[in-house]
Amino acid sequence: MLYQRVETEDWNRYLGRQFSREALDFLKDHYEDLGEKSDLEWDPIAIAIAGDWREYKAKELASNFSMYINKKKMRDNFAEAIDDLAQMLGKQTYVVGFDNSFLVKNFIMKKKLFGVF
pLDDT tens for each residue of 14-48: 787 888 888 888 888 887 787 777 766 666 666 66
CA-to-CA dists, residue 28 to 8, 10, 14, 17, 35, angstroms: 8, 11, 12, 15, 10
Split at pLDDT 50, 70, 90, the class of 60 is very high
DSSP H helical segments within the chain, as ranges? 8-15, 21-37, 44-50, 58-64, 71-76, 78-90
The alpha carbon of 35 is separated from its chain's Cα centroid by a whole number of angstroms, namely: 19
Query: Could you report the per-residue pLDDT of 69-106, keeping only the tens digit for each?
Result: 778 888 899 999 999 999 989 988 989 998 889 999 88
